[in-house]
Amino acid sequence: MKNQKERYESNDLRIYQRLNDRSRLSDEDLAYFSYLEKGFKGEKKFDEWTSKLSDNWLFLNDLLLECNKSEFQIDSIGINGETIYLFEVKNFEGDYYIEGDQWYKTSKTEIKNPYEQLNRTESMLRKLLNEHKINFKIKPHLVFVNYDFFLYNAPMNLPIIFPSQLNRLINELNLQRFKLNVNHFHLAEVFLSLHKSESKYKQFPNYQYEQLLKGIICINCNTYITEVKKGKLVCQACGYIEDLSNGILRSVEELKFLFPNRKITTNAVYEWCGIYKSKKGIWKVLRENFTKNGHGKYSYFD
Ligand SMILES: [Zn+2]
């Protein structure tokens, strides 16, 4: 399979991960964080399956598109022959059932109908293709990747792929003998050019610098480093050893990511890293890795 667009953790998932390490999330935020994390893991699981497809397939993952001023998100698109295979991926766990047009978790809580979601995505995609005078068929699939998922009353006519059917789906898709040509790559280019990196409706959680715990977090186990020894960070929890300068640079990236408007100064990084008590050492790391602006106590790095 030729992958034209990889899947990465979204910015909001990354923010929640950082906030979860450095603060106490409210129950609501925690639930949303786990929803994002679960969704991402499910999609990565699906990517493992599609990586087994032959080179007759072109894939694009995680697209955010817009049509008629409405945004829609696509988990995966597979291109082959004259068809765009549209995949909506769900990592649902536990027992669910369908009653009429409604979907429920067995605790009787109604959930957002994923099939309706797929329908909406399909119709938006169709409009977008029409707008660009692109003639491809669309074949939608609703894929469940979690083996601990069960759906009662699933009508056979829905384009659902259960985990136990994924192997067969991949084998079936691998039977397609159409070779990729310039039209397919052109189509992929169009999708990439229309892809938006950030949703205009995105709402990030509210967080303040003061609320967050300061320190360097172990890259291996996400706990706070408590020991600096001979230029190394030693994690007491998992034993992982990392170069101090590496840990400082990671923390600077994190600081820049969470607070893009804050200036990167020696003092700011000293405070953010917490554990390392040498301003001179921090200044040296910054000096070696960033461009210095200004002089003396007004200098900052970028
Ligand atoms: Zn660790």
pLDDT at 277: 87
Ligand 1 centre distance from Cα of residue 218 (Å): 5
CB 242 within 8 A of CB 53: no
Ligand 1 centre distance from Cα of residue 235 (Å): 5
Neighbours of 5 (CB within 10 A): 17
* 13: pLDDT strictly greater than 90: yes
pLDDT at 90: 98
Ligand 1 centre distance from Cα of residue 278 (Å): 22
Q: How far apart are CA 202 and CA 100, in angstroms?
A: 32
* 204: pLDDT strictly greater than 90: no
Ligand 1 centre distance from Cα of residue 31 (Å): 25
Predicted confidence band of residue 158 (pLDDT cuts 50, 70, 90): very high
* 203: pLDDT strictly greater than 80: no
* 298: pLDDT strictly greater than 90: no
* 297: pLDDT strictly greater than 80: no
Q: How large is the average pLDDT for residues 262-286? A: 93
CB 130 within 8 A of CB 122: no
pLDDT at 162: 98
Ligand 1 centre distance from Cα of residue 234 (Å): 8
Q: Which long-range contacts (CB under 8 A, 24 or more apart) does 149-153 make?
A: 149/90, 149/92, 149/93, 149/94, 149/96, 150/94, 150/95, 150/96, 151/95, 151/96, 151/97, 151/98, 152/95, 152/96, 152/97, 152/98, 153/97, 153/98, 153/99
* pLDDT above 90: percentage of residues in the chain: 89
Average pLDDT, the chain: 94
In angstroms, the Cα distances linking 49 to 42, 89, 127, 160, 174 are 11, 12, 29, 16, 12
pLDDT at 24: 93
Q: What is the pLDDT of residues 75-106, one digit of tens each?
A: 999 999 999 999 999 999 999 999 999 999 98
For residue 168, the SS3 value is helix
Q: How far apart are CA 50 and CA 59, in angstroms?
A: 8
Ligand 1 centre distance from Cα of residue 224 (Å): 8
Q: How far apart are CA 282 and CA 290, in angstroms?
A: 12
The residue with greater pLDDT, 79 or 206, is 79
CB 143 within 8 A of CB 166: yes
* 116: pLDDT strictly greater than 80: yes
Q: How far apart are CA 153 and CA 102, in angstroms?
A: 11
Q: How far apart are CA 285 and CA 279, in angstroms?
A: 10
pLDDT at 112: 95
Ligand 1 centre distance from Cα of residue 246 (Å): 15
Q: Provide the token pair at 3.
A: 């992958």
Ligand 1 centre distance from Cα of residue 229 (Å): 15
Q: All domains of the chain, ordered by start, with CATH?
A: 2-194 (3.40.1350.10), 214-301 (no CATH)
Pick from 93, 96, 115, 120: which is nearest to 106 by CA?
96
Our measurement of the distance from residue 260's CA atom to the centroid of its chain's CA atoms, rounded to an integer in Å, reads 20
pLDDT at 202: 78
Predicted confidence band of residue 206 (pLDDT cuts 50, 70, 90): confident
Pick from 186, 294, 260: which is nearest to 15 by CA?
260
